[in-house]
Structure 1
Amino acid sequence: MLYLIALLLSAFAYAEKVYVVERERGAVAVVENDKLKGEVKNLGNLNHATLKFLGSKAFVVSRDGFLSSVDTDKDSLMGKVKVGDSTIGFTFCEGKIVVANYSPHTVVFLSPELEILREIDTGSRNVGIKSYKNLLTFALMDRDQVWVLDCKDYRKVKVFENVGNMPFDALLSGESYLVGFFKESSVGVANLKDLTYRKVSFRAEKGEVVFKIPHFGLWGVYGKKAYIPAVGERRVHIVNLESFEYEGSIELPGLPVFVSVSPDGKYVAVNYSGDMEDYLTLINRGEGKVIRTEKLGKRILHFRFTSDGKFIYLSSYYENRLKKVSVPELKVLGEVNVPTPSGVFIKGG
C-alpha cells in the first residue's frame, strides 16, 4: 500500500505536457498534469498523422496535405497551409520545415511561419525524409533513388541511383541513412558523411538471416541496437546497426506492432495487433527477457515513455482514454477521456 502511494505521489510530482491525436476528429487533445487542458481542432485527416516539436511550436502534418503549427504555450492553432494532396512525413532542417509528398510528386520547404520557400518536383512519391546537419535525405519510391539536398540553398548534393526495388521508409542512425524496400529483404545504407552507398543484409554467424523489414517508425532503437517487430511472428528481432549482425530475438505472447525503448535504456515496451491488441509487454533490455504483460486497454494504438522512463502514456482506442502507466509495474495511475485517441506525443519527452 505504501509503495502504491509512493508511485502516485511520484506520478503527480512529475508532469509533462502530452499531445494526443484524435484520429477520427481531426484534432489533437492537450493533457497537462494528467488533466485534459484543451483541444486543437481543424487539423485535417489525422490517420497516421505526424506531430513534432520545434521550440515553442508543434507542427502537425495530415494525410490530406495540411501542415499546421500550434503554439505550445497557449495550445492554439497558429497557422495552417496546404502543402500537398497526400503527405507522408516531414522533418526540420536548417530552421526550415520540409515536407515529403506522395501526391503531387514534390518535396516542399517552408519557414517556421509556414511560408512556402521552395517546391522541388521529384517525379515520384517521396518517403523516408530525414535531416543530418545541413543535408536533407529522402527516397523516391517510384524511381529507386535516394536524393541528398543542401537545406541552405536547395541544391542537389548527391543522387544515389538503383538503390533497391521500391524504397518505402528510412531510418537515420548517426550519419547512416538506412532505407528499406518493399520488394527486397536487404537494406540500403547511405553514409551522409562521405556520401557513399551500399546494400546490406542482416547476418547471423551461420549465414544470412532474411526477415521482412517493417516500417522503421515501428522500431525501437537504443545506441547501435535496433529492436524490430517481426512481421507475422510473435517475436522482436535484435540487430546491430553498426555491424548489421543479427543478434537474436525475444519471444512474445502476441504479434508486435510498435516497439519503444525507454530513454534510460532499461526497458523495451511492445504493443500488439490481433488477439493481444489490449495488452502491453515490458522487456528487461539488458537481460532480453519479458518482465510482464498486462491488459491495459481496449486496442492500444500507440504509447510513449516519459523522458525519465518512469511512466508510459498509452492510447486505449475503444475506451476513448489516455492512460498513464507506471514502469516497470505496468499499473494504471491515471486516465483522461480523449475521443478516438491514437498517436501520443510528449513535449519534452
Structure 2
Amino acid sequence: MMLSGLRTPLIALGLAALLAGCQATPPLEPRGTGDLGVVVERATGSLAVVDTSARRILGRVEGLGDLSHASVKFSRDARYAFVFGRDGGLSRVDLLSGEITHRVMQSGNSIGGAISQDGSLVAVANYEPGGVRLFDSETLEPVAEIPATYRNAQGETVRSKVVGLVDAPGNRFVYSLFEAGEIAMIDMNGEAPKVTRFPDIGEAPYDALIGANGRYYIAGLFGEDGLALLDLWHVEEGVTRILPDYGRGEARLPVYKMPHLEGWAMAGDEAWLPAVGRHEVLLADTDDWSLEERIPVHGQPIFVMSRPDERQVWVNFAHPDNDVVQVIDTETREVIRTLSPGEAVLHMEFTPKGEHAWVSARDSDRITVYDTRTFEVLATLDSESPSGIFFTDRAHRIGL
C-alpha cells in the first residue's frame, strides 16, 4: 500500500529510467522524513502517518495487531517506525511506502521497547514471558533473549514482568523487574550480552525514564513512596533512593491511572513530574533530587511534558478529568492556560522546535494541533481512537 502524497524514492526512479533507456517525464522529488510522525489508532490496529509541516494525515498502515498500549521507536535514519504491540507483535513500518516490511510475534504480552545507540538492535520488554528479547533492526531476526528470572518468597525461580526499558549510551539497555524489585542493565559491546543486576531497589517498580543526557535512570515504585535512581556514569555506586514523598503519601487517594515517567519534564536544573494520586505537579532540584514545590493542577497528572525550549510544561490528566490539558509557565510556575482538546486526552507531542503541540483525544476521535505561543487551534484531524503520538525527531534523542 502506497501512502497518498508520498513520493517514489529517487533511487527507484533512477533505476527505472536506466532500464527504460529514457525518461518520458521528469522524476518526482524525493521527500525526507524529518517532519513525519505517526499516531497510534488503537481501536483499528493502525498507524496514521502524519506530516507535521502540512499538519495533515498522509495515509494509514493497518494490520498491526493489538495497539491498546502501543509505543513506537524510529530507526537511526528516521525512515522506519518500530511498533511494539500489547499482543507481543513487533512490526517494522516503512514511513515512505506505508508498508509493513517485517513483523514478528515475539511474545504473549509486551510493553514497549528501545533502539540501541548505534541503531543496529531493537530490544523489547515483555510481560509474558517476562524478559527482554533483542532483534536485528534490519531483519527482525532474533539476536538474544534475557529472561527476567528471580527467586520468589517460596524459593522458586520464576519470571518477572519487565517495565521501563530504555536505551542508554554505550549500546546499553536498562530496565526494571516489577515483581523482583530490581533494575538490570544489558551491555551489548561484547560477543554476548553482559547483564548487570541491581537488586532490592524498592517494591514493584512500574515504569522508568532516562534523562536526556543518558546519565540517570529513574524507576517509579508502585508499592511504596519514593523512586530509585541509578547513575549510569557510576554504576559501581549502585541504586539510591530519591524523593521519598513522591508516591501516594499519607492520604492514600484513589489512583485512576499511574503516571508515565517518560513524560517527565526536565527544564533547567529542575524536574517537573506528575504526583501519584494527587492533583499536583511536583518540582524537584536535580542537583540533590529534593522536592522544591507542589503546583496545584486540574486533576491527577499523567504526562508532564516540557516544550523543547523549556519555557512551558504541558500536562494531561487521568480519568475523570481527562478532557483537559493545562499549560504551566516554567518561569512563574503558574498555570497560564487550560485547553479542551476533547474527551479522553491520552498523549501530546511537540514538533521538534516546539512551535506546535499535537494532542490526541481518544473518545472524540480527533487530533488537535495547537500553536504553543498563541494557543490557537491550527488543525483538527479525524482519527479513530487516537492515542500515542510519535514524531521522527525521537530517533535522535536518548530514551525516546
Same fold, TM-score > 0.5, yes or no: yes
1:107 match: 132
Distance 1:210 1:20 in 2: 31
Distance 1:267 1:217 in 2: 17
Distance 1:163 1:101 in 2: 20
1:24 match: 43
Aligned length: 330
Distance 1:281 1:136 in 2: 33
2:178 match: 141
Does structure 2 retain, via aligned residues, the 8 Å contact 1:296–1:332? Answer: no
Distance 1:275 1:168 in 2: 22
Partner SS, residue 348 of structure 1: helix
Distance 2:341 2:360 in 1: 10
Displacement of 1:224 after TM fit? Answer: 4.2
1:316 match: 361
Q: Does 1:252 align with 2:326?
A: no
Does structure 2 retain, via aligned residues, the 8 Å contact 1:27–1:40? Answer: yes
Displacement of 1:59 after TM fit? Answer: 0.5
2:277 match: 232
1:184 match: 224
The residue type paired with residue 302 of structure 1 is: H
Kindly report the root-mean-square deviation, in angstroms, between the aligned alpha carbons of the 2 structures.
2.0
The residue type paired with residue 205 of structure 2 is: P
Q: Does 1:346 align with 2:372?
A: no
Q: Does 1:128 align with 2:164?
A: yes
1:40 match: 61
* Cα distance change, pair 90–223 in 1 and its aligned pair in 2 (3 A): farther
1:199 match: 240
- Deviation readout 1:200-220 (Å, 9 max, x if unpaired): 232xxxxx6453384412422
List alignment gaps of at least 5 residues for structure 2.
1-33, 150-159, 249-257, 395-400
The residue type paired with residue 330 of structure 1 is: F
The residue type paired with residue 142 of structure 2 is: I
Q: Does 1:76 align with 2:86?
A: no
- Deviation readout 1:162-194 (Å, 9 max, x if unpaired): 222222222212322212222121222222222
1:160 match: 198
Partner SS, residue 345 of structure 1: strand
* Cα distance change, pair 210–109 in 1 and its aligned pair in 2 (3 A): closer
Partner SS, residue 238 of structure 2: strand
Distance 2:339 2:123 in 1: 39
What's the TM-score, normalizing by structure 2?
0.78
Distance 2:145 2:326 in 1: 43
Displacement of 1:275 after TM fit? Answer: 4.8
* Cα distance change, pair 143–272 in 1 and its aligned pair in 2 (3 A): closer
* Cα distance change, pair 127–197 in 1 and its aligned pair in 2 (3 A): same
Distance 1:77 1:187 in 2: 38
Displacement of 1:91 after TM fit? Answer: 0.9
The residue type paired with residue 354 of structure 2 is: G
Does structure 1 retain, via aligned residues, the 8 Å contact 2:229–2:242? Answer: no
Distance 1:165 1:251 in 2: 28
Partner SS, residue 298 of structure 1: coil
Distance 2:278 2:200 in 1: 31
Specify which of 316, 331, 334 is matched with residue 286 of structure 1.
Answer: 331
* Cα distance change, pair 68–210 in 1 and its aligned pair in 2 (3 A): closer
1:10 match: none
* Cα distance change, pair 256–193 in 1 and its aligned pair in 2 (3 A): closer
- Deviation readout 1:225-251 (Å, 9 max, x if unpaired): 221122332221111233111110222
2:142 match: 116
Displacement of 1:257 after TM fit? Answer: 2.1
Distance 1:232 1:157 in 2: 34
1:172 match: 210
Identical columns (%): 31
Distance 2:67 2:312 in 1: 29
Distance 1:240 1:73 in 2: 42
Does structure 1 retain, via aligned residues, the 8 Å contact 2:219–2:227? Answer: yes
Does structure 2 retain, via aligned residues, the 8 Å contact 1:28–1:41? Answer: yes
Distance 1:180 1:268 in 2: 20
Range with bigger deviation, 150-159 or 299-308: 150-159
- Deviation readout 1:245-291 (Å, 9 max, x if unpaired): 11102221333222110011111111223454222211111221111
Partner SS, residue 260 of structure 1: strand
Q: Does 1:262 align with 2:307?
A: yes
Partner SS, residue 271 of structure 1: strand
Partner SS, residue 318 of structure 1: helix
The residue type paired with residue 53 of structure 1 is: F
Displacement of 1:344 after TM fit? Answer: 0.9
- Deviation readout 1:286-315 (Å, 9 max, x if unpaired): 221111112222222211111121111111
Distance 1:224 1:143 in 2: 32
Give the 4+ runs in structure 1 shifted more than 4 A: none
